Amino acid sequence: MDLFQKRSTDSNSVADDELENALLLSGLQHLAFCPRQWALIHLEQAWKENRLTAEGRLLHQAVDCPGESRRTSVRVVRGLALHSRRLRITGRCDVVEFRPEPYPVEYKRGRSKPTDCDLVQLCAQAICLEEMLQTRIARGAIFYGQPHRRQEVEFTAELRTRTENLCAEMHKLYLCGETPAVQPGSHCQSCSLADICLPWATSRQRVGARWTDACLRSLCLREEA
């Protein structure tokens, strides 16, 4: 049994009740993209597939099947189950390359995003691996399907802090159990849940409700006067 197998076996012996309240690691990507999207998916169990999500699902099917192979001196493990007791998250890493140090690789369709939503997901995978294997991981990579190449990601102190803060926020939202109010923006155009969220209509309803409340308060003040 090699070092990876021994440490992962010891880590996987963690009691089920210690991870009973763990949330999905992949939810961090949803939360960083939009808190309302996270709540619709993970609280209300809403989902609607569009072309973008379908392409992403097909891409992951090619790498999600658990297994391992070897390329010269690099050991490649696919579909590796992950968890962190400290952050209370569980998930799966598309690919981990052992060079021999662990090097997580996440597969995404499309191109690199202007936000850090993909970066925090990869960073969370690295944090899980560090806890499971009792090691330190400096960097990993995201493979984007459109340019068909990897983008290397350095796990800086700032990115780690951002990831851990999002984990805390995710657990707080889960305990609260309420879906955040809509915050319309350009990101809504690529969201598969736009027809469920109705960001622009919901926003107009909120504006209308505030206007109605203001009118009612004004009438009440006049009557009291």
Residue 47 has pLDDT above 60, yes or no: yes
Q: How far apart are CA 156 and CA 39, in angstroms?
A: 28
Lookup: tokens for 202: 């919901």
Lookup: tokens for 18: 């210690």
Q: How far apart are CA 101 and CA 137, in angstroms?
A: 7
pLDDT in tens, 181-195: 888 888 888 788 878
- Measured in whole angstroms, how far is the alpha carbon of residue 40 from the centre of its chain? 14
- Worst-scoring range by mean pLDDT, 5-19, 43-57, 123-137, 151-165? 5-19
Architecture of domain 3-180: Alpha-Beta Complex (3.90)
Q: How far apart are CA 211 and CA 198, in angstroms?
A: 20
Residue listed under structure tokens 């499971």:
132
Task: Return the SS3 of 95.
Answer: strand
Q: How far apart are CA 80 and CA 132, in angstroms?
A: 12
Check: CB of residue 189 under 8 Å from CB of residue 55: no
> Could you give the percent of the chain with pLDDT greater than 90?
55
Task: Return the SS3 of 205.
Answer: helix
Lookup: tokens for 25: 């690691």
Bond from prior residue into 184 cis (ω within 30 degrees of 0):
no
Q: Which residues are 91's β-sheet partners?
A: 82
Average pLDDT over the chain, rounded to whole?
82
Name the pLDDT band for 209 (thresholds 50, 70, 90): very low
Average pLDDT over residues 138-155: 95
Closest of 193, 199, 201 to residue 50, by C-alpha:
193
Structural domain boundaries in the chain: 3-180, 181-225
Residue 52 has pLDDT above 70, yes or no: no
Closest of 140, 143, 138 to residue 112, by C-alpha:
143
The pTM is what?
Answer: 0.77
Angle between helices 157-176 and 117-133 (to 10 degrees): 100
> Could you give the percent of the chain with pLDDT greater than 70?
73
- Worst-scoring range by mean pLDDT, 188-192, 195-199, 210-214? 210-214
